Each structure stands twice: as C-alpha cells, then as structure tokens.
Chains A and B, each alone.
Chain A
Amino acid sequence: AQKVTQAQTEISVVEKEDVTLDCVYETRDTTYYLFWYKQPPSGELVFLIRRNSFDEQNEISGRYSWNFQKSTSSFNFTITASQVVDSAVYFCALPFDQGGKLIFGQGTELSVKP
C-alpha cells in the first residue's frame, strides 16, 4: 500500500540554523515519483520538487536540498541557513497511482524564529 510518514510534527529553530525534515514512504511500485510541497500561513500548497525514483542523486536548489535514499525509502529535505520566511507546514507526497492523485504525509510544521 502507498503510505507517507512524516514523524516530526513540529520543529522550531532559530534563524540561520540548518534544519532537516524527514519523510519515509512505502510503495508497491518499482518506479515512482516523490514530491515536497510547502504550505505557508496563507494556505495554498506550493510545489517545491518532484523526484523520480530512478534518480538517486541529491538535488540542491539554493538553500534547499533533498536527499533521496531508495534503500531506506526516505526522501529528506534540508533547509540551510533557515529564514523566518521558511516558516510553514511542509508535506511530502507520493502518487497513489498513475492518474496523479497524491498521498500526503501528515506534514511537519516548521517555525523559524528571528
């Protein structure tokens, strides 16, 4: 069955600290995609990244980086030098099927304090 687990419910850091958000998944598929979304207080979910299971290279985009490890079924997200504007709820997601409907984790609420 498809399942996404984000064990960290809330994380609080001080600005400029690095922070890693964990995501562990279960899937019946041999090839699949994984996603991260950000939900700021305004409410809309903002797409951050899509990763294909074929590609296990780490990805870096500015202060954001993602570590995908197929062997441990994890797709962790690191924010380097966090900023107050990074405060949001972050969701990891996995497609349920090829139609594109997503299974979301419970989310991790990140609070970055000045």
Chain B
Amino acid sequence: GAGVSQSPRYKVAKRGQDVALRCDPISGHVSLFWYQQALGQGPEFLTYFQNEAQLDKSGLPSDRFFAERPEGSVSTLKIQRTQQEDSAVYLCASSPGGGLYGYTFGSGTRLTVV
C-alpha cells in the first residue's frame, strides 16, 4: 500500500479482555517496529521485526504483550488480559532497510481500557 495502515483506529476494551492490533506495512518494507505512546509522551519502543524474525522484544512491558509477523508482512500486536495502564496509542512503523534510515509511521490505534 501507499502508507502504513493500522486497524482498528480506535479500540475500547474492558479490563481483562484480550485485544489484537493489526499493522499493514508498506509493501516490500523489511523492518517493522511497534511503539507505545502514552498521552503527552513520546513514543516508546516495544518490538522490532526484520522480515518474519522478531529481533528485539526488549520493550514489551510484560508477558501479556505478544507480537508476530508470520509471513514477513502484516504484523499483529496482541495484548492479553488488558489493564488500565495499557491505555495508549500503539504505533506501527516500517522501513525498507534498517530503522536507521527513518521510518514511515501509521496513524496508530488508540486503545482505551475501561
């Protein structure tokens, strides 16, 4: 596609519910990143894929967070048993090479846990 597409745009989840956030990167982009952005803060790194390989998941805040990119294109970020502190905007970005060349970001998914 022309840009990075994320869905849903907004998600309201009841505490304890599982959610799945989807990211469709730019076609052919090798690198894919997930970031979490709390209100009024800068984005914080969650995890990084190069093709289907998850090379870095050091930013995932707990084992309730899980990300996959099984065919090296679309990625899904799953959050199990959501908590109120998970409320944030989840941003996906892709890059044709490594991230040092700069990314193209999607518009994000705003998750609200009630």
Q: Write the residues of chain A forming the contact surface with B, with a CB cutoff of 8 angstroms.
A: 4, 33, 35, 37, 42-47, 50, 91, 93, 95-96, 98-107
Interface size on B, residues (CB 8 A): 29
A47–B45 touching, CB < 8 Å: no
Nearest-CB residue, chain A, relative to B93 = A45
Bound complex: CA A100 to CA B104 (Å): 13
| Cβ contacts under 8 Å, B55 to chain A | 99
15 pairs, A vs B, C-beta closer than 8 Å = A35-B102, A44-B4, A44-B106, A44-B107, A45-B103, A47-B105, A50-B101, A99-B55, A99-B56, A99-B99, A100-B95, A100-B99, A101-B48, A106-B40, A107-B42
Q: Write the residues of chain B forming the contact surface with A, with a CB cutoff of 8 angstroms.
A: 4, 31, 33, 40-45, 48, 55-56, 59, 89, 91, 93, 95, 98-108, 110
B104–A47 touching, CB < 8 Å: yes
Kindly count the residue-residue contacts between A and B in the assembled complex, taking CB atoms under 8 Å apart: 71
Bound complex: CA A102 to CA B48 (Å): 11
B108–A101 touching, CB < 8 Å: no
Query: A44, A103, A106, A107: which has the most chain B beta carbons within 10 Å?
Result: A44
- Given A105-B42, A106-B41, A107-B42: A95 touches B102 (CB 8 Å cut-off): no
